[in-house]
Structure 1
Amino acid sequence: MKYFQLLAKPFTIFVERYYPDPFVFAILLTLLTYLITLGLTDITPMDAVVAWGDGLASLLSFMAQLAIMLIAAHALAHTDSIQRCLRFLGGLPKSQAAAYLMVTVIAGLASLLSWSLGLVAGAILAQQVAIEGRRKGLRLHFPLLVASAYAGFVIWHMGYSASAPLFVATPGNALEGTIGGLIPVTDTIFAGWNILIAFVTLALVAITCSLMRPKEEDILEAPVEAMESMREDEEEADRSAGHGSPLSPAGHMDNSRLISIALGLFLMVYLVHWFSSKGLNLNLNIVNWSFLALGLILARNPLHYVGLIGNASRTVSPVLLQYPLYAGIMGLMFNSGLVNVMSDWFTSISTPETLPFWAFISGGLVNFFVPSGGGQWAIQGPVFIDAAQKLGVDLPLVVMGVAYGDQWTNMIQPFWTIPLLAIAGLHMRQIMGYTFVIFLVTFLTFGGGLLIAAT
C-alpha cells in the first residue's frame, strides 16, 4: 500500500502547484492549440483565428443535450428512492479499503450505463459514504473518495452512452457509405473482448484506489456537518415548494404526483415504442428521455421535480461556460487540418496488429484538446476507418481504440471533473493527483487489451 501512496504523492504535489483552474486550463489550451496549428500546418494566423471563431458555436446542439443530460441525471439521483438506495450503499463499507473500492465500482457501473449518471451518482455516493463512515467512526480521506468516483468514469466510453460506437451504429451517419454499412453495437460495446477489458479495468482501478489511501495523519475528512445542513435546506425547500393553498384546485394540481407520473409514463410509452420499432438504437436524446421519465415517475410531485432541476443547475453552468472554448479548439484543429496531421502520423507508423493501439494513443491525445467523445470521433473517425480498411483491420477494434483513448486521458484533463466537483464541493487540484495514477494504470489495460484483441 505504501508504494501506491508514494506513487500518488508526486502527482498530487504537481497538480496542486502547477495545474490551473479548469477554465484557465481551457484558455491556455486554446492558445497552445493556436500555436501548434501555426507550427504544423500552412494556415495563416488570421485564418486560424477565423477557424477558431467559426467553431465556437459548432457544438451548441450538443451543449443543449449535455445540459439536459446532466440536469436530468442529477435530478434522478436526488429523488427519494435513489437517495435511499445511495444511503444504503453508503452504509455498507466496514473498512477504509472497502469504502474507496465500493465508490469506484458503483461509479464505474453507473458510467457504463451513462457517463453523466456515473459522474453525478459517483459524487453523491462519495458524500454518502463519507457521512455514514463518520457515524461509524471510520476516518476516510474525502478527496480520495471523490477521486475514486471520478476514476470509475474511466470506462464510460465502453458502455450504454458510448458516442463513437453509437455513431457508427446509427443509420445515416456520415461514415455509413465509407464503411459500407453499419457497425452494430454487438461488435463494439457488447463484444466479449470489450466487456472483458472493461471489467478487468474497473477491478484494477478499484484496487488501486483502495491502495492509495493516505496515512492517518494525512486524512482530510469531509465537512459532514455542512453537507447535512445543505441537504436539510434542500429538503425543506422541496417541502415548502408550491403556490397557493394546497386545498385549492391549483394547489392540488401542483402537488399531485399523478400529474408528474402521467408525463413520465407518457415518455416511457414513447421509449418502449422506440426500442420495439428500432431495436437497440441508442443516442443522447433517448438517454435523456430515459432519465427524464424515471425522474418524473420517482419525484413526489411536479413541483418537487422542478426543485430538483433547480438544484441541479449549478452542475451545468461551469460546463456550458467552457464548452464553446473546446468547440473553438475543435474547429481550429479540424479546419486547419491539424487533426489530420496528427492522425496521419499515427496511421503511418501502424501495422495491422498495432493500428487499434495507435488509434487509442491518438484518441487520448486529441481528447486532451477536444473532450467530447462525439466531436472527437467526427474528426478522427474518417482517418482511422480509412487506415483500417487499407490495412485489413477489423473496424470495431479501431472504433473502440479511439473510444478508449477518449476516456483514458479524462483522468488528466480537468474538464469532466467540473460536474462531479460541483456536487462534492472540492477543487480539481484535490483529486487529480490520484487520477494521474489511474491514468498510468489504465494505459496497461486499454493499450494491452487492444494489442491482444488485434492479434
Structure 2
Amino acid sequence: MTSPGTTTSRRNPFERVMRPVNTVVERYIPSALVFAIVLTFVVALLALLLTDAGPVDVLVGWGDGLAGLLAFITQMALILLLGHMLANTRPVRRLLRVLGGLPRTPVQAYVFVFAVAAAASLVQWGLGLVVGGLLAREVAAQAREKGLRLHFPMLVAAGFSGFVVWHMGYSGSGPLTAATEGSFIAEQLGTTIPVAETTFATWNVVAALVTVLAVGAALALVSPRGDDVTELAVDARVADVALDDEVVTPADRVDASRVPTLLLGLALLAYLVVYYARGGSPTLDIVNWSFLALILLLVRSPFEAVALTREAAANVGDILLQFPLYAGILGMMTATGLIQVISDFFVSVSTEQTFGLFAFLSAGLVNFFVPSGGGQFAVQAPIMLDAAARLGVDPQVAIMAVSYGDQWTNMIQPFWALPLLAIAGLKMRDILGYTTVTLLVSGVVFAATLLLVGPG
C-alpha cells in the first residue's frame, strides 16, 4: 500500500525484511490510551499479588494519585503546545524553506533532514517533531523541482530519527523535573539535581554528539539507491497557519498590532535575563517561558498567536487525558509498596557498574506501554532512584538511564510518530524499516555510555 501523491517502485531488500514487523505494529499495537488503561489494571493486579495491600488500598491509592501530577501535566502540555507553535511561526517556516534547498544529492538530503530534526529536538522536543515533518516535505518538494529523485519515506524516517536524542537536550522532561523545586523527584531525593549534572554533563553531551554522528552515518548507508525510490509526486508543502485577521473595529486593530505581543515577549525575556543573571538554572517552567518569549517575539500580532495556539492545541489532548492515568499508577505503586518490590528486583540483578545499563533496557521496554517521556518518568524514575540509592549509584545516572530508554524505543513505538506521519501523509509501516536502524545504532551508543559512566 502506498501513500497518496507518491509514485512507487519495487521495495528494497531492507523494507522487505522489516515487513513482518510493520504488520505487527499496525495490526496489533493499540492506541496509547488503551495501553495506559491496560497498564493501570496490570499494576493493580501486581500490587494485589506482590504486596500486602487489599483491593480497597489499591483503589484508594489509585484514586488519590490521579490528581498528583497536575502541575507536571500542565508543564508537559505546554512543552508540546509551544514547540508546535514555534515550528509554525512565519520566521521558522521561512528558515525551513531556505534549508530545504540546501541538499544536492539524495544522501545529503536524508542526512541533512535527520541532522536538522535532531538539532531541533535537542532544543525542544515538540519543535523537533514538527520540524522533522515540515522539513521532509520541503526538501522533497524542492528536490522535485530540481529533478532530484528522493525516497520520501526515507526522508520522513530521517526526520523522525532526529527525535532519538530529544531527552538528552534542553527540554528533556526527566532532567528538568529533577531540577525543578517541589517536583515529585525533588521531594523523593530531598533536593534538586541541576541540569549541569544531567543534560549538560560532559558524558551526556558527548553521547548526544556520537549518537547523531553514528545514526547519520547509518542512515546514509541504508538509504535507497538508484530507481528504488518512492517519490512524492505532488508539492505537498503545508501552508502557513491561516489567520482570522480581518480588521474592522478598533479592537481588531489592537488584535492585528504587533505591539501587545512584542511588549509581553520583551517583558518575559527581561525576566529570563534577570533569572539567569542571578544564577538560576533551567527548570520545566523556565524552559517553557523561554519558548513562550521566543514565540511572542516572532509572531506579528495577537491574531497570529491565537491562530497558532488553536492549530497546536489539537496535539495536546492525549497528554491531558493520559497523564492522570500515569499519576494514578504512580499513586498505586507508592501507596501499596509496589515501588519497593520492583526496586528490590533491580537491586538483586544489578551491580554499581551495570545498574545504568539495566535501567536503560527496562526503560526501553516500559516505553512501549508508557510512550510519553514525562509519563514514563513519573512511573519509573521513583523506582530507579530508590534502587540507585541502595546500590550507591549517583541519582543522575538513574535519571539519564530512564531518559535514554524512553527516547530509544520511540523509534519503533508509533505514538510520537503519529503527528509527524500526519504532516507527511504516511503510515508507520512506511518508515519503520529505517527507524529500526536508528534504534539499533543509537542503542549501542546509549548502552556503551551508561556502562562507561558506571555508578557516576
**Amino acid of the structure 1 residue aligned with 2:130:** V
Contact 2:47 2:53 in 1 (8 A): yes
Q: Does 1:276 align with 2:277?
A: yes
Query: Any residues of structure 2 matched to 1:224-373 within 5 Å, and which?
Result: 224-225=234-235, 227-228=236-237, 231=239, 234=240, 237-238=242-243, 241-244=245-248, 249-279=250-280, 281-373=281-373
Query: What CA distance in whole angstroms lies between the structure 1 residues aligned with 2:189 and 2:311?
Result: 44
**Amino acid of the structure 2 residue aligned with 1:94:** R
- 1:282 deviation in Å? 1.6
- 1:5 deviation in Å? 4.8
Q: Does 1:410 align with 2:433?
A: no
1:188 to 177, 194, 198: 198
- Which segment is superposed worse, 356-365 or 378-387? 378-387
- 1:83 deviation in Å? 1.0
Q: Does 1:130 align with 2:128?
A: no
Query: What CA distance in whole angstroms lies between the structure 1 residues aligned with 2:28 and 2:225?
Result: 24
- 1:150 deviation in Å? 2.0
Query: Could you say if the C-alpha distance between residues 214 and 321 of structure 1 is closer, same or farther in structure 2, counting changes exceeding 3 Å?
Result: farther
**Amino acid of the structure 1 residue aligned with 2:269:** M
Contact 2:195 2:282 in 1 (8 A): no
**Amino acid of the structure 1 residue aligned with 2:294:** L
Query: What CA distance in whole angstroms lies between the structure 1 residues aligned with 2:76 and 2:420?
Result: 14
Q: Does 1:169 align with 2:179?
A: yes
Query: What CA distance in whole angstroms lies between the structure 1 residues aligned with 2:395 and 2:60?
Result: 34
Per-residue CA distance 1:76-116 (angstroms, 9 max, x = gap): 21222111111111111222222221121111111111222
Contact 2:175 2:399 in 1 (8 A): yes
Query: Could you say if the C-alpha distance between residues 42 and 417 of structure 1 is closer, same or farther in structure 2, counting changes exceeding 3 Å?
Result: farther
- 1:255 deviation in Å? 1.9
- 1:361 deviation in Å? 2.0
Whichever structure has more helix as a proportion of its residues is: 1
Contact 2:14 2:433 in 1 (8 A): no
- 1:265 deviation in Å? 0.9
- Which segment is superposed worse, 126-135 or 79-88? 126-135
Q: TM-score, normalised by structure 1?
A: 0.85
SS at match of 2:278: helix
Query: What CA distance in whole angstroms lies between the structure 2 residues aligned with 1:216 and 1:316?
Result: 41
1:158 to 163, 168, 175: 168
**Amino acid of the structure 2 residue aligned with 1:99:** A
Query: What CA distance in whole angstroms lies between the structure 1 residues aligned with 2:400 and 2:201?
Result: 10
Per-residue CA distance 1:341-378 (angstroms, 9 max, x = gap): 33331221111211121221233233333344445444
Query: Could you say if the C-alpha distance between residues 428 and 258 of structure 1 is closer, same or farther in structure 2, counting changes exceeding 3 Å?
Result: same
- 1:275 deviation in Å? 1.7
Query: What CA distance in whole angstroms lies between the structure 2 residues aligned with 1:60 and 1:179?
Result: 20
- 1:421 deviation in Å? 3.3
Structure 2 match to 1:423 = 423
Query: What CA distance in whole angstroms lies between the structure 2 residues aligned with 1:43 and 1:217?
Result: 62
Q: TM-score, normalised by structure 2?
A: 0.85
Matched pairs, number: 445
SS at match of 2:416: helix
Query: What CA distance in whole angstroms lies between the structure 1 residues aligned with 2:146 and 2:217?
Result: 23
SS at match of 1:431: helix
Query: Could you say if the C-alpha distance between residues 175 and 303 of structure 1 is closer, same or farther in structure 2, counting changes exceeding 3 Å?
Result: closer
- Which segment is superposed worse, 333-342 or 359-368? 333-342
**Amino acid of the structure 1 residue aligned with 2:29:** Y
- Which segment is superposed worse, 136-145 or 22-31? 22-31
Query: Any residues of structure 2 matched to 1:53-64 within 5 Å, and which?
Result: 53-64=63-74
- 1:268 deviation in Å? 1.0
Q: Does 1:201 align with 2:211?
A: yes
Query: What CA distance in whole angstroms lies between the structure 2 residues aligned with 1:214 and 1:118?
Result: 24
Structure 2 match to 1:445 = 445
**Amino acid of the structure 1 residue aligned with 2:300:** R
**Amino acid of the structure 2 residue aligned with 1:241:** D
- 1:379 deviation in Å? 4.6
Contact 1:169 1:185 in 2 (8 A): yes
- Which segment is superposed worse, 384-393 or 201-210? 384-393
Structure 1 match to 2:78 = 68
Contact 2:121 2:163 in 1 (8 A): yes
Per-residue CA distance 1:37-92 (angstroms, 9 max, x = gap): 55555555665555555544444433333333222222221222111111111111
Query: What CA distance in whole angstroms lies between the structure 2 residues aligned with 1:16 and 1:382?
Result: 32
Contact 2:169 2:199 in 1 (8 A): yes
Query: What CA distance in whole angstroms lies between the structure 1 residues aligned with 2:274 and 2:43?
Result: 45
Query: Could you say if the C-alpha distance between residues 22 and 176 of structure 1 is closer, same or farther in structure 2, counting changes exceeding 3 Å?
Result: closer
Contact 1:188 1:194 in 2 (8 A): yes
Contact 1:105 1:206 in 2 (8 A): yes
Query: Could you say if the C-alpha distance between residues 71 and 382 of structure 1 is closer, same or farther in structure 2, counting changes exceeding 3 Å?
Result: closer
Query: What CA distance in whole angstroms lies between the structure 1 residues aligned with 2:31 and 2:389?
Result: 42
- 1:295 deviation in Å? 1.4
**Amino acid of the structure 2 residue aligned with 1:252:** R
Structure 2 match to 1:93 = 103
Query: What CA distance in whole angstroms lies between the structure 1 residues aligned with 2:330 and 2:382?
Result: 15
Structure 1 match to 2:7 = none
What fraction of aligned residue pairs are identical, expressed as a percent? 50
Query: What CA distance in whole angstroms lies between the structure 2 residues aligned with 1:44 and 1:326?
Result: 20
Query: What CA distance in whole angstroms lies between the structure 1 residues aligned with 2:193 and 2:210?
Result: 24
Structure 2 match to 1:397 = 397
Contact 2:80 2:125 in 1 (8 A): no
